[in-house]
Structure 1
Amino acid sequence: MHKVLIADDHAIVRSGLSFLINQQTNFQVVAQAANGNEAFLQIERADVDIIVLDLNMPPGESGLITTQRIRERYPKMGIVILSMHEEQEYIDKAMQNGANSYVLKSSSDDELLSALKSVANHQTYVDQNIILTKTDLAEINSQKVNVKMKGYADLSSREKEVLPLIALGYSNKEIAKKLFISTKTVEAHKASINRKLGFKNRVELVHYALHHGLIDF
């Protein structure tokens, strides 16, 4: 049985996807999340094989960044992107960041089910309504994201969770509650982030987060 986590900011979407997936043989929805950070925490707690992830779950971390963080921390995790974004830039970046599959929300249920079955068999799957060119494949296989995000790779896994929450204006106490850590630990992570990335204040951190698409409003 393949255990699935659904991450989408709309409860009705999560319910609909859960109903669809739970009707399928060998698939069971075991957890849900409303944003990227929550999804990451659910993966840490639950026994999850595949995540169906939306790219935009504002206000919160960008789904593109969540995809990258999940791939880095859980290299065997199956990642299915289910998004309204049909722009090639989003598709290329999602696959480049580690997604195994990309499905459009405008497509039929069959596309999502095909994606789930493919990913369960350790295969990639791209929505049949999406056409990947040689240029797109070259972009997906490039390492441009690492160049643009220089410095980000030096952050620890927890620091990458804390950074977008700081940028979104959450207090130390609120961040601590969301991540189930102490406020002193949050303060330590904030100091480490500022030191590693050379920030002098929160304004610089927010600018960095926005410039690199780390957060969605």
Structure 2
Amino acid sequence: MTIRVVIADDQGMVRTGFTVFLASQGDIEVVGEAADGAEAVARARELKPDVILMDVRMPVMDGLEATRQITASPDLSAKVLILTTFDLDDYVYQALRAGASGFLLKDASAAQLAEAVRIVAAGDALLSPGVTKRLIHEFARLGAPRAPTTRRLADLTERETEVLSLVAQALSNQEIAGKLVVAEQTVKTHVGRVLMKLGLRDRAQAIVYAYETGLVRPGE
């Protein structure tokens, strides 16, 4: 199945470069571009892409607000991959709370770019250990749990709760399977049920949810 992508960046050269990179992939198609956040939202509604590569600092509407509007829309299923340079500290937490599924460096190679699109399209979070560490530090700084939705945690089975806590530590399905001594497909099934029961879009949202409800606390 072809993955449909929209590229949102206010720099035309970046959009062109990414389009050229992705055009060489047989399973990825760039269906549109946007030069600002408002245009990105419009393209998302018009084109219904699977993945949106989203810059943060753009005119008219920044990428964080655009991400928030896109992921909050019940009729849109696009996953948002945040484009960044190197300093994530200012907005890593905001972007994930807004619904982003991960981060990609703008100087990523063609292979890294294509793989990032595939990972996010599949519903996985693209969070490097460094990004996860920053996120956990931010939760530690904020202190008490923020989300008043702990009631929904009661809908999870004991094993699903265990899987969610391991997802929150940014472990892959393979790593979780190793810890729980079960098949990787079994873990994938559990993760899917967790996302469905909690109404979460992907693993990135699951990580945020686990910390904000206090299921997992920094340092554990």
**TM-score category by the smaller chain?**
0.5 to 0.7
Change (3 A) 1:128 1:16: farther
For the 8 Å contact 2:48–2:78, the answer to whether it is kept is no
Q: Is the alpha carbon distance of 1:2 and 1:143 closer, same or farther for their aligned partners in structure 2, counting shifts above 3 Å? A: farther
Shift of residue 128 of structure 1? 6.0
Shift of 1:107: 4.2
Residue in 2 that maps onto 1:26: 27
Tell me which amino acid in the other structure corresponds to 1:63.
G
> Unaligned regions of 5+ residues in structure 1, if any?
145-217
- Counterpart-to-counterpart distance in 2, 1:72 and 1:110: 30
Q: How many residues are matched? A: 142
SS at match of 2:137: helix
Q: Name the aligned partner's letter for residue 114 of structure 1.
A: E
Instruction: Give the Cα separation in 1 of the matches to 2:88 and 2:70.
Output: 22
Q: Give the structure 2 partner of residue 66 of structure 1.
A: 66
The 1:131–1:73 alpha-carbon spacing in structure 2 relative to 1, beyond 3 Å, is: closer
Q: Distance in 1 between matches of 2:21 and 2:36?
A: 21
Output the CA distance in 2 between the equivalents of 1:135 and 1:6: 30
Deviation at 1:143, TM superposition (A): 4.9
Q: CA RMSD in A?
A: 2.5
Cα offset, 1:85, TM superposition = 5.2
Q: Deviations over 1:129-163 (max 9, x none)?
A: 64525334666xx658xxxxxxxxxxxxxxxxxxx
Task: List gaps (5 residues or longer) in structure 2.
Answer: 148-220
C-alpha contact 1:78 1:119 (8 A) present in aligned 2: yes
Counterpart-to-counterpart distance in 2, 1:64 and 1:47: 19
Q: Give percent identity, aligned residues only.
A: 28
Taking the aligned partners of 1:42 and 1:97, their CA distance within structure 2 comes to 18
Tell me which residue corresponds to 2:45.
44
For residues 147-195 of structure 1, give each alpha carbon's deviation from its aligned partner in whole angstroms, at most 9, with x where no partner exists.
Answer: xxxxxxxxxxxxxxxxxxxxxxxxxxxxxxxxxxxxxxxxxxxxxxxxx
Instruction: Give the structure-1-normalised TM-score.
Output: 0.58
Deviations 1:86-129 (A, max 9, x none): 13231111111100011122444444333211111110102466
* 1:135 and 2:134 matched: no
Normalised by the length of structure 2, the TM-score is 0.57
State the distance in 2 between where 1:130 and 1:111 align. 16
